Chain A
Amino acid sequence: MVTNALQINRHSEVFSSIKYWIRRLPLLPIILLSPLLVFGIFGPLIYPQDPHIIDLNLALQPPAFMPGGIMAHFLGTDQLGRDLLSRLMEGARSSLLVGIFGVIFSGAIGVLIGLAAGYFGGKTDQVIMRLVDTWMAIPGIFFMLLFVAVMMQSGVQGLTPIIIAISLTMWPMYTRMVRAEVLTVKQRDYVALARVTGCSNSRIMIKHVMPNVMNTVVVMATTGLGGAIGMEAGMSFLGVGVQPPKTAWGLLISESSTYMGSAWWIPTFAGIAITMTILGANLFGDWLRDALDPMTRQSQLSK
């Protein structure tokens, strides 16, 4: 009887908390990010046309809502008659993959190094911070171009060099932030207590310090997703990112630049796709920061 009541109680608690979260989910960021997620995940299953089919009879078709446009190519076609909407969807896949893996790798490297710098302090900290400063004294795009060139030379192909280059460029951001947070968390009593009870350094770092900096990391990673996707777009735009015949949003913009006057829709829609994604990630990051912070969460609850 008692257990039953408890279970019911727990059920309703879970249920109400789910309802509570759904009600408070940020609508705008989700709408902005949904094309990226839907097209990125389902990809080829839902392309309206094959993004690689060339049909020169249908070259440079304007979008359907413009005079001369046809419904079959809703957002128009490029100079080879390939369907822009399908190509944008294919681009979403590269962006999503690069964004997610870029964030995971740069976050993992950055967080681990930042934890070590903040926790051990002293010489370790000095050496690491010098490295971070050095890294940040080189313009990011220069670094990425160079790293991609190195990767391609060593025979790495596809999205991997882009992901590695982005990770190697973005990690110092996490390191700085995590280090600063660890410096304050380290002073707390529970860390001292853990040490007294005989925990090893690595155990204290992983079990006691890291959970307390994770909120910041999650927020940074969300915004970092937009950052990584923006970087990928920039690299593809400069011709060192995704390589044809594959396509990416940045590549669509640079490919169309030679006949941009007769196909305004290609750079326009590709750019809108990039902007929507970065904006969505930034807004989602803002929402997450408020949602994870107990202080602002309280004030949101009372709203």
Chain B
Amino acid sequence: MTRYVLNRILLGIITLIGVSIIVFVASRLSGDVARLLAAQNATEAELQIIRARLGLDKPIPVQYLIFIQNSLHGDFGTSISYHQPAMQVVLSRIPATLLLGVTGFVIGNFFGIALGILAAINRSKWVQWGGQTFALLGQAIPGFWTAVMLMLIFAVKLHWFPTSGIGGIQHLILPSIALSWFSVAFVMRITRSSLLDTLNTDYVKLARIKGNPERVVILKHALRNALIPVVMMMGMQLAMLIGGSAFIETVFRWPGVGILMVNSISARDYPLIQAITIVTAAALILIMLLTDILFVYIDPRIKYE
């Protein structure tokens, strides 16, 4: 197990280096930041001065080595648009994203699991039909449209919630619903099919024969095992939440990492782009590793060599 974890961490570091190379090269190919910063009629000499100041006058491989050397000392460069250390800008945005992401994650899993149980045990035609429609729509409706429509109906027309920004709980409701919309449908689908499989197993039948009330059979015997695939998918779900937050934060002007990601690319803010990718990629790799380890504890059948 230790060997497995160490191996995975090593692979994670290799992945992270790969990510940094791809993003480093791509961001430098994406446009000349000097031209964006300089005056309209700047001469080539003036542009050269700006490039030299930002360290962009050297060949890309040299720039990359300098970047690696500095980042190992915790220096990810200075954000071009914020004039602050890039990593500091990203870290200052993390609490907002985390607040939104965790709320979305909790809503997604709570309602997803609850609806999944309902769809698995209530065999009435309406519940089945409604559950299936909901699951299909959840996969098909883009998150940003949900966000726009929620905003249009509940903020612009009904004035129940503020349209944008961060603040009290009322600011959090619409964005987190929009963010978790996909998760609810996704978790519901997995819970339903997994619970249906579990309800067919011998130990559930035995639990019934022993005369347990249906509630105990489902919640205590069946659901525990049925949730294993749901937990397995949590890593993927978090990855989708990170991607989705770019849209939701943009719609609701939520000051998190997602909107920063979008803005940093349009501003060609290389150090900021790099810092964001390193943070999100590291988070994703860590999440995947943690779910795999968590897995061994909740499902004793799984063993890693």
Contacts and interface: CB of A to CB of B under 8 A. Distances in A.
A253 B147 CA distance: 11
A238 B247 contact: yes
Contacts of B27: 146
A147 B15 contact: no
B68 to A, nearest CB: 16
A137 B145 contact: no
A147 B280 CA distance: 18
A141 B142 contact: no
Interface in A231-268: 233-234, 237-240, 250, 253, 257, 260-261, 264, 267-268
Interface residues of A, number: 42
A149 B19 contact: no
B195 to A, nearest CB: 21
B95 interface: no
A19 to B, nearest CB: 29
Contacts of B144: 233-234, 237, 250, 253
B18 A146 contact: no
A260 B26 contact: no
Interface string A144-155: 011101101110
Interface string A125-136: 000001101110
A240 B250 CA distance: 13
A142 B280 contact: yes
B268 interface: yes
A95 interface: no
Interface string B275-305: 0110011001100000000000000000000
Name B's interface SS: helix
Contacts of B11: 130, 133
B140 A153 contact: no
Contacts, number: 129
B156 A234 contact: no
A122 interface: no
Contacts of B18: 130-131, 134
A253 B265 contact: no
Contacts of B140: 226, 275, 278-279, 282
B45 to A, nearest CB: 22
B56 interface: no
A44 interface: no
Contacts of B242: 139
A234 B142 CA distance: 8
Interface of B: 11, 14-16, 18-19, 22-23, 26-27, 29-32, 136-137, 139-142, 144-145, 148-149, 151-152, 156-157, 239, 242-243, 246-247, 250-251, 261-262, 265-266, 268, 273, 276-277, 280-281, 284-285
> When A and B form their complex, which 10 residue pairs have the shortest distance between CB atoms, in order from nearest?
A134-B18, A149-B30, A279-B140, A271-B145, A139-B243, A278-B140, A137-B281, A261-B156, A153-B31, A145-B265
